[in-house]
Structures are given as structure tokens and as C-alpha cells.
Amino acid sequence: MKKLLTTILFISHLSGTDYIDYLHPFHPTTSSNGMVVSQNALSSNIGTQILDMGGNAVDAAVAVGFSLATTLPRAGNLGGGGFMLVYIKDKNEIFYIDYRSKSPRNSSIEKLLGAKKIPERNSKLWERVDYTYLASGVPGTVYGLLEAHKNFGVLTLEQIMKPVIEQAENGIVVSSDLNYVIDVTPQLRTDPESFSIFFDNGEPLKEFSIMKRPDLANTFKEISKHGAKGFYEGIVADKIVEAMEKNGGLITHDDLKNYKSFFRMPIALNYKGHMVYTAGPPSGGGITLLTALGVLNNIDIKKYKSDSTKAYHFLAEALRRGHNNRSHFVGDPEYFDVPVSKLLSSKRIKELSSSIDSNKASSIEEVIPFKPRINSKDTTHYSIVDKNGNAVSNTYTLGLSFGSGVTIPGTGILMNSQMNNFAYRYGDKNDISRGASPGNRFEPGKKPMSTMAPTIIFDKNNELFLITGSPGGSDIPAAILRVITGVIDFDLDIGEATMLPRIHKDWPYVGLEHERAVSRDIVRRLKSMGHETEYENTIGSTQSIHIINGVNYGFADLRRPNASVSVQSN
């Protein structure tokens, strides 16, 4: 394993003096203490503040999750949902908490989309749900974070929430990135409450100005005092329901009061001696990732360079088969019997692998869907490890950037846009895509499928090895796969593995998306193999911790601004 910080090259200078050179410019942060890697430095720092107070990885994860609602409002949230993996070292066990948003009980296709049951994707009817109160499912974030704390935390909730409340009250300095995303997000301009928060005199909050969030602070205080009831019942719940009733939304008091997160079994696969754990259904991202890894188990990509044409080709073909595997029979397991074991079986992986041509891109028809016998990119992820070796990998989302754009008056809660993630084309015989998935068909009270895939990996000695995950909608598995193969197959440190150029290939869509860092020569060769290449500025934003011999190597992906590694100080 290359260790960037210990492998240095002494090169003789013309003058006779030596200077130190490094293998690459993407230096991981190193520590034997606890570590937090998130998409915002201020929130990472709050996480390590909790660790310094004696909290564990779960306490820090709860604080970071709430803090990001202030520091990264386009994705950090109280009004969304997600998936969390928790590793407790003393138990040597991984727990998976599903706190995905769910559809309101009184929702229907007619209420959501009008009389037209199978809308055109480019129609105004389809777009109308994105930016209204109808777009939001029942939020799960608060319940999920507090469920993790209740079962695994060591500090009191009041201790954890104190710095989060202070941050919202004192405000944060508006970064150039926050100013930019406010400016380019149309739904913030159409909701009066959101407009009053994120704009000043009709203009997006200026860079270097202070954004204070007393509304969020008050909601945090209710949660701090009353736990989950401080959000799903009482004053906050009353404000959510009142706003829904005034604006045509569907979430009721019963929806909020009856929301529960679930402890589910994570799904896992042995990848070249490393056990990879990730989120199972309603995550389709976990199925995609493990399918791709299963396919690559049958391919020796290590014999190629990490940036070679063949490596990109095999990654693309593996990803395509992963997305095929999630396209029809993955959904909320409370509503649909997802055939996970069959989708990830050696028989199914062999069937998918056998259709790969090492010299030619596969067609839609060559990737055969599983036949049983009977996504916006503004999610966010963070990874945490504490000094005792407990770990959290957490991914959560509002859906679109800033979700539906709707903020519940007086609460600071930005609501999600997850009602757009169901397969509303179910029953359309002409649609072979996920839009017609039987597993993800719309039903009241159901959770839509997601591509979020928080991941924890153990090495050949069953020691904690890698904590990672990414935002990016359908790009999520591609980003995680590139990091995993970079570390395991190509023997790179976490900085270099993170910054490898990325590609994404879905199914049944024909395009192979690639970042601009992929060389023109390789793009040309991929085209000659039959791949229809498309530029993508960035793919994902992994936040990772790689553990080697008890030392933590953290790296925050440079693809998005303001991400940061923070290290426990004591």
C-alpha cells in the first residue's frame, strides 16, 4: 500500500541541495484519533467538538447531521431522509438504519399528478410536483438521527444539540458556493418563506455576509428538549401541518406521529477478500454497487492502469449491469418482496458477467433484466470514526438541490422533493426503464427507491478498512466504486483514489458519462469500442476514511467546495 505521507522522494537539485517531492498532490489527513469527513468544514468541526467532549462516532454523526441543515442547506436537512450504517466495535456488528422519507397516507397519483396517470417526463404536469408542497414525503431525518443516538450514543441529546443550536443562532459566513447555489435554484424564489431566508433585498445572500438561522435554532431547541416528539408532535408538527393545509400539501398529523425509522439488515459482498457492507432496499444504490463489484470479482482489472481505457471500459460495463439489476425489482421492502439474494446471487452475477465483451460496449438488449418467477444530485454524505474504532457512514437527502424549495414558516425546515422518485409509469408496457418499475410503483405510505449507498468495508483480517459514501443521484454507485477499486485493486491511498477521474454508465440509457479529467485519447478509444461518451463536470463527492494499521487517513473530495476533514484534538 502506498502511504503518501511516508513515501517521499529525495531528488538532487542542480545546486547540490535536496528537496522533498510527493507521489501526488491529494494529501490525506492523518490521525490516530477520531475523524470526521463531511461536505462542510464547519459541520466537520462540530463533529470533532462532540468527540472531544467524550462523545462517540454516533454522537458526532447526530451533531453533524443537524449542523448541515445550517451549513449546507441544499442537502443537509431536517425535512428529508436517508440511510445510516453504524459499526460498533465492541459488538463487532454493523447496524443499518433506514430513515427514508415516505409518501403521505392520503396521497394518490390523481392528487399528485392530476388525472393523467402516466405523465410525460417533460410535461409541466410532471414538473409541477417538484416545486410545491405536493412534492414532499414525510421526513425521516430527525427520527433516524435520534434513533441512532438512542441506541448507540453516550452523550445526552442536550449536550449534542448545544453547539448545533449556537451555530444556527450565531450564524455562518456565506461562502461563494452558498451564494452561487442560492442564485441558481429557481424554487427558492417561488416560496415566500425560503425567499425571505435566502435573499436580501431581492438578491441572493452575499458572499461574506452572515446568515443567522433563529428559525432553525428554535426547531433544534424543541428537538433537544423533547426528542422525536419535538419534531413529529407539538409546536413544530402543528406548523408543518398548518402550512400543508394552506398550500395544498398532503402531510397530516397522523403521518408525522406514525413515522418510524427501521433497523434493517445491511447487504454485503466479498470483494477480493474485503467484506463490503452497504444499504439494502429501499436503497437501489446498494444493489447497484454490490452487483458491479460482483461483476468485477470476475475481472482482473488490477493488471491494467487505473486510468487505462480497459479499466474505464470494465467499470462502465459493471456499472451498467448494476443499474440494470436495480431497475425493476427494488423498492420499499414493507410493500414489495425484493429478491435481494437472487439479485446478488452467484448465478445472477455470472449471467451479467458473461455478457461483457472486453473489446466492445454492450447494447441495451445484451444486458438482460432479472426475471423473477412470480435521481438530483444534491444529496450529502459524511463518514466518521472515533478513537475506539466505532464508525458511521451516513447519506441523507432532500432530493433536488434545496428539495422542493418549500420552507415551513417559522421552523426553518426545508422540505424534500422525494415524491418524484416513485415509478409513476408502472403499467406502461413500452417503458423498460426504472420509471415503470413494479418494485418502486407508487403506493400511499411507501418509501421511494433511492440510490444512496453509505458503505463500510473490512479487510481480510476483518479489521475496519474503509468508510465512504457520496451524493450524486444515480452517479452515487459510480463514485463509490471508483474509490473502492482505486484502493483495493490499484493500491492507491485514499487521496489519489478519490481524485481518479470518474465515469458513470446507467441502463437502459446509452451514454457513458465521464469527467473532463479523462484524457481525450481514452475518450476516443472508448468511442471506438462503441461507448457513446458524454461530458459530465463532476461525478459524486465522496467523503472517506481509510484505516491502515490503526491510523485514519481522511480525504474530503475536492469536487465540491468547502468539504473538510476534521480531527479530534484530545
Q: Which residues are catalytic?
A: 379
Using alpha carbons, select from 395, 506, 392, 393 the residue that is nearest to residue 450: 395
Alpha-carbon distance of 483 to 493, in angstroms, equals: 10
Neighbouring residues of 409: CB distance < 8 A, sequence distance ≥ 6: 193, 239, 243
* CA–CA separation, 45 and 56 (whole Å): 14
How far is residue 173's CA from residue 170's CA, in Å, rounded to a whole number?
Answer: 10
Using CA atoms, how far residue 126 sits from 112, 120, 327, in Å, is 9, 7, 20
Q: Please give the full DSSP string across 390-431, using - where no structure is assigned.
A: -EEEEEEE-SSTTTTS-EETTTTEEBP-GGGGSBTTTT-TT-
Burial (CB < 10 A; 0-12, 13-18, 19+), residue 561, is: middle
Burial 250-284 (b: 16+ CB within 10 A, else e): bbbeebbeebebbebebbbbebeebbbbbbbbbbb
451 is in an annotated binding site: yes
The answer to whether 473 is a known ligand-binding residue is: yes
Return the residue matching grid coordinates 505521507: 5
Residue given cell 538532487 in the structure block: 12
Determine the Cα–Cα distance for residues 165 and 560; give it in Å rounded to an integer.
Answer: 26
- Report the C-alpha gap between 281 and 285 in whole angstroms: 9
For residue 149, give the 3-state DSSP assignment.
helix
Alpha carbons 355 and 371: distance in angstroms, whole number? 16
**Annotation-wise, does 70 bind a ligand?**
no
Crossing angle for the helix pair 309-326 and 346-354, to the nearest 10 degrees: 130
Residue 488, C-alpha cell as written in the block: 483495493
Q: At what angle do helices 57-71 and 157-170 cross, to 10 degrees?
A: 20
If residue 570 lies in a helix (H) or strand (E), which one and from where to where? none
Q: Is 175 annotated as a binding residue?
A: no
Residues marked as binding for L-glutamate? 100, 450-451, 473
Annotated binding-site members? 100, 450-451, 473
